[in-house]
Structure 1
């Protein structure tokens, strides 16, 4: 069986209690690795150092880990981590809750200056949103803009639509959910009751019910046993009655002690569904999860190199096709449900007098303090006498104040204390909400179709690569393929010019540009040497760009003739990182002058702003210079992100992605690039260490961008 890579709703319900034991701990520091793993370092008076890991990428988890297992801190904390430190350093951990039965955890931290909430979404694309005490989003790893919900900085955090909580469901609601299903028992428990596949099967097994039994064949006794199994599970979770287990799949020879046994699951209590697997007991669920994900990572590292074995594209494509079928079915279900709700609302108006008679009778009786059972008995008597309004009443739920009526064969639940119009409006509103869920499902199906097309593209590329490999000569076969290396050594180097914008031309010359007025000032005053070229856009709002003839550590010389190709690349660099790109234009004019033509001394009667400079003499213009930026990952001689004109970067990086002006915010595009790079390297940890989204953003132009090929 495939190992678990995402925590279930049952797992999270069990975790809340154990994590709550750390209430009162102080948060020391926060870290962000890549764009999906947050580490919170805390200290507790009794327990000492506590390390909490929140991962929302391909693996989705939230648990404490042993201090010796935490990853090394990133060299440069990204903006998100700095924001967390500013808001949380010294804060008290005030508790954690699971949102309903969804895969969402809400961590609360208190400090004198206010409350901070970390809302961790362990479903779908995954996300961590940081909000204040009133749920206003400060920042988030992923921006969410759907018709059903929005999660963006500055807005109020919106939880997903509420789903039925099977741990608190009443027997009546349970029966209704089961009876509304048109599939088998286990699928109903998994989807309608929101248990998911594993625990739906576990409940069936504990209840002694055949999983594949059709709902239509289930009787009251079957419902009794299923509901009792759910109640026992809920009671164990509420009372923290845990016996955690880590499950392993037997090794190749079937021996439980075989070193080749692989971890496949960790659960808060023993599961009958895992009875055939080897199991290891733990004192706490947190400890079991720590060991599980640690060993899972080791097992993944021991897997055969995926670059030498062709992935099962057929299975992946079939999976996406199945998901699309399921999503299409859900959309059709939403359409049908919305239509039925609207039809019910219209029926209330069509039978206005009848419905009003029923509701008025109940409201008058309740105004006289008559009990619900007496009201129900009066309707039964009226039905026996053939009174139309009484015959329409098929049930009364006194606990909820709901009366169920049968109108033209449709059963409609009415809120007894409301009038006909209010009940109809409620049905119309519910129909609208269901229609919005359909819109969300339509967006999801488009994402799945993109995943399907991506899988087909990768299959075609793999097949093409196979053909190309067969034709490659021996010399090419000996070249080092960094993308396929399972482990790439880190060779870091922070040059003196790293605080500026920079790149090396295809001829090897350094180009540096200012990020702001202060840096423009420094470039002209401190780093401009004889022989250098200075370039600037004709448009206002661009960096001072210096094409260096020599390094500052070398003796300057005005005798060096800079190649035209380097000057052209420097011109493209100057226009790309200027307001030309920010304005969404694709070309602009750039002029170049020698270093001795640049001065900080203005003409008489003129004034130079900070970062400005004056030019003496003629300028050489590069008209209609096209914008162009590529961001890449360099593996030799150093491992780092680089960026600049494509013609220069492509020859120096192992892999590059070209950008063009677009509508996506700089931070969002940086995350997209990060994911692309992770997909391209077999060693994903290498990308995480040297190419965080913040580091990628360091080399991107100001303003909106998009990937050129998209």
Structure 2
């Protein structure tokens, strides 16, 4: 039996009932993995930390998970996740509804500044749409443009056409739907009544009606029993009468004998999970759970382990270096994410402290008002009421107060859009010092994390060294038998590998735009004015070449003669082929592409012709530079970008001129100027790449749409062969 990978409409009806117990939870953060897995980290007053997963890819599910089972946070949140964090941070979970009897869940979150809805489509290709309170789409994982419905940012979200809800259907409508069928009973329940195959069979079994009975042979008695079975199912779902079950199969011993102790086989593989026991599953081993969402958590956890497990030769004693490397890399990713978080938190605390000093008079007025009131024994509730009255009269200090918490003696004010909690008994300076102290404490945590990450990197380097030694030993053993023919050994077929090992080694230049030419020269370009400035000031050395488009709005492009760690030299001759590829890179990531043009003019100069010192009376903007002397022009340089996946020596996304990228990647996709925004084009390329690899999880780990987007030019793009 194939394991269930998508939740049914009955499953979702049960989940809606259980999700109601989490109402009032506050959202802390949102995470997006690849283009199909959303995670919401929330806090519940009674339960503490709550983790909600919504997946709309190969698996389609929505349930809470145990904190220890949540996937590691991505190192860099994509735009979709950042948008959700901005809208949901501090919001209350107001509830969830199922759209009629369809596989659509609508999660509602409330905050003072408005309502946000997360609509999860757990059918077909799957989708997640984020809307405001009026159902205007803010963003979505997939844009939908069909005759029947449209789901695109800026439009009103359109639900699919309504389907019959069998849980609320009247007896008259039930009879009509059954009579209108031209097939057997079970197929009628599955299609006309929308129950699907499993629950159609279950209802027939519970009602004692033959599944294969032709609908014309079914009479009033069969209709009565079936309608009663449906009614009992609906009552159980409405009242939460659940007895969740996780079903397993398998476990036969290799020699065909039964288990030694109790004469039964030990089931090894999960195949289904349901909100209550099913008579259709009595032949399977079952495990009970207290809640359906806990059962789903365990089911999909075990299913993922089962999917990722591989058959291994028990005689193979090779250490699993790749697993150790992947584990350490995950730890490094987590540590880097923590460091980035510490930096942001520390900076936020410093900014809040500076806001207090920048608005000293306003803050002092608020604190003095509270302190005088407390000296007069005015209750906190009355103080809050006075601030509310002051808001109505338009008093500036009162308007800045957003919360008064008498139990903690905290008054929260809003200044320039930032909420700053103030200890009411302290003055402005003391409150600011407290924020600076907190920023310092967080910065110290960052230093500790930096030390920890260095230790982890050293451990990773040691594992990689031992792996290389082991592989070298294996190569020597094979060479003893036959040293010839190594050159004819076929290349590894990465696309058909069942499990591609992940090998990362992030380089200093990867935060810029970059690629290696066909002659293995590094080309780097700025993503913005700050990076353009940095490239010219810090990384431009003797022997390098600088390229720029005649069109305004292009990156500073540096064709490196040497690595910054090597001695620079003007004696290195850079081939014309590398210069041409660097020129194509410069024009592709400029406004030429953004304007929808297919070619532009590029000039090339030596590094010593570039200066940050303007001529007398002139001014250089940030990112700008002065060029002195003759320029070499490459007219009508064609745009051209390919994005692909490199598997050796490292696994990563690469992008740039097709002639350079296609030699280094195992598979690539060419793009050209088009109508799809960077985010949408990134998703389309991601799906194409994932389809080409047998190990789809590998693509998801190293080539998320967000990473692919970093290699796409500004403006619209399309896949060249679409």
Question: What band does the TM-score fall into relative to the shorter chain?
Answer: 0.7 to 0.9
CA distance in 1: counterparts of 2:135 and 2:258, whole angstroms: 52
Contact 2:604 / 2:632 at 8 angstroms: preserved in 1? yes
Query: Any idea what the Cα deviations from partners look like across 1:153-207, whole Å, max 9, x if unmatched?
Result: 1222111111111000011111121222222222221122111111111112212
Q: 1:258 deviation in Å?
A: 4.0
CA distance in 1: counterparts of 2:618 and 2:42, whole angstroms: 57
2:309 to 302, 306, 310: 302
C-alpha change, 1:641 and 1:161, in structure 2 (3 Å) is: same
Aligned to 1:666: 678
Secondary structure of the residue aligned to 1:650 is helix
CA distance in 2: counterparts of 1:303 and 1:243, whole angstroms: 33
CA distance in 1: counterparts of 2:658 and 2:266, whole angstroms: 48
1:283 to 282, 286, 290: 290
CA distance in 1: counterparts of 2:666 and 2:283, whole angstroms: 47
CA distance in 2: counterparts of 1:38 and 1:231, whole angstroms: 34
Q: 1:57 deviation in Å?
A: 0.1
Aligned to 1:568: 580
1:646 to 637, 640, 658: 658
CA distance in 2: counterparts of 1:587 and 1:304, whole angstroms: 52
Aligned to 2:300: 293
Secondary structure of the residue aligned to 2:663 is coil
Which blocks of at least 5 consecutive residues in structure 1 are unaligned? Answer: 306-472
Q: How does 1:463-474 map to 2 (within 5 A)?
A: none
- Structure 1 residue 269 and structure 2 residue 281: aligned? no
C-alpha change, 1:255 and 1:632, in structure 2 (3 Å) is: farther
Aligned to 1:92: 92
Aligned to 1:499: 511
Aligned to 1:209: 209
- Structure 1 residue 121 and structure 2 residue 121: aligned? yes
Aligned to 1:52: 52
CA distance in 2: counterparts of 1:48 and 1:615, whole angstroms: 61
Secondary structure of the residue aligned to 2:683 is helix
Contact 1:179 / 1:215 at 8 angstroms: preserved in 2? yes
C-alpha change, 1:13 and 1:598, in structure 2 (3 Å) is: same
Q: How does 1:401-440 map to 2 (within 5 A)?
A: none
CA distance in 2: counterparts of 1:669 and 1:260, whole angstroms: 44
C-alpha change, 1:184 and 1:476, in structure 2 (3 Å) is: farther
Contact 1:575 / 1:627 at 8 angstroms: preserved in 2? yes
Q: 1:227 deviation in Å?
A: 0.9
Which blocks of at least 5 consecutive residues in structure 2 are unaligned? Answer: 313-484
Of 543-552 and 2-11, more deviation after overlay is shown by 543-552
Contact 2:248 / 2:267 at 8 angstroms: preserved in 1? no
Q: 1:609 deviation in Å?
A: 4.1
Secondary structure of the residue aligned to 1:678 is helix
1:529 to 528, 533, 541: 541
Aligned to 1:81: 81
Contact 1:250 / 1:277 at 8 angstroms: preserved in 2? no
Query: Any idea what the Cα deviations from partners look like across 1:549-589, whole Å, max 9, x if unmatched?
Result: 22233333222221212111101111111222223333322
Aligned to 1:514: 526
Aligned to 1:222: 222
The count of aligned residue pairs is 543
Query: Any idea what the Cα deviations from partners look like across 1:222-280, whole Å, max 9, x if unmatched?
Result: 21111111101101111111111111223345959645632111001111111222222
Q: 1:474 deviation in Å?
A: 7.3
Contact 2:682 / 2:709 at 8 angstroms: preserved in 1? yes
CA distance in 2: counterparts of 1:493 and 1:259, whole angstroms: 43
Contact 2:546 / 2:559 at 8 angstroms: preserved in 1? yes
Secondary structure of the residue aligned to 1:682 is coil
Contact 1:531 / 1:560 at 8 angstroms: preserved in 2? yes
CA distance in 2: counterparts of 1:98 and 1:134, whole angstroms: 18
Aligned to 1:34: 34
C-alpha change, 1:659 and 1:196, in structure 2 (3 Å) is: same
Q: 1:303 deviation in Å?
A: 5.8
Aligned to 2:466: none
CA distance in 1: counterparts of 2:214 and 2:682, whole angstroms: 49
CA distance in 2: counterparts of 1:474 and 1:494, whole angstroms: 30
Aligned to 1:240: 240
CA distance in 2: counterparts of 1:183 and 1:283, whole angstroms: 39
Aligned to 1:137: 137
Q: 1:16 deviation in Å?
A: 1.0
Secondary structure of the residue aligned to 1:58 is coil
Secondary structure of the residue aligned to 1:699 is coil
CA distance in 1: counterparts of 2:164 and 2:583, whole angstroms: 60
Q: 1:671 deviation in Å?
A: 0.8
Aligned to 1:693: 705
Secondary structure of the residue aligned to 1:649 is helix
Q: 1:607 deviation in Å?
A: 4.9
Q: 1:540 deviation in Å?
A: 3.0
2:628 to 616, 640, 644: 616
Secondary structure of the residue aligned to 1:591 is strand
Contact 1:632 / 1:653 at 8 angstroms: preserved in 2? yes
CA distance in 2: counterparts of 1:54 and 1:576, whole angstroms: 37
Secondary structure of the residue aligned to 2:22 is coil
CA distance in 2: counterparts of 1:272 and 1:255, whole angstroms: 25
Aligned to 1:483: 495
Secondary structure of the residue aligned to 1:187 is helix
CA distance in 1: counterparts of 2:24 and 2:589, whole angstroms: 48
CA distance in 2: counterparts of 1:505 and 1:141, whole angstroms: 34
CA distance in 2: counterparts of 1:560 and 1:663, whole angstroms: 41
CA distance in 1: counterparts of 2:33 and 2:225, whole angstroms: 46
Contact 1:506 / 1:648 at 8 angstroms: preserved in 2? yes
Aligned to 2:61: 61
Secondary structure of the residue aligned to 2:629 is coil
CA distance in 1: counterparts of 2:137 and 2:193, whole angstroms: 31
Contact 1:250 / 1:278 at 8 angstroms: preserved in 2? no
Aligned to 2:455: none
- Structure 1 residue 681 and structure 2 residue 688: aligned? no
CA distance in 1: counterparts of 2:691 and 2:540, whole angstroms: 41
Contact 1:518 / 1:611 at 8 angstroms: preserved in 2? yes
C-alpha change, 1:175 and 1:639, in structure 2 (3 Å) is: same
Of 212-221 and 570-579, more deviation after overlay is shown by 212-221
C-alpha change, 1:68 and 1:477, in structure 2 (3 Å) is: farther
Secondary structure of the residue aligned to 1:205 is helix
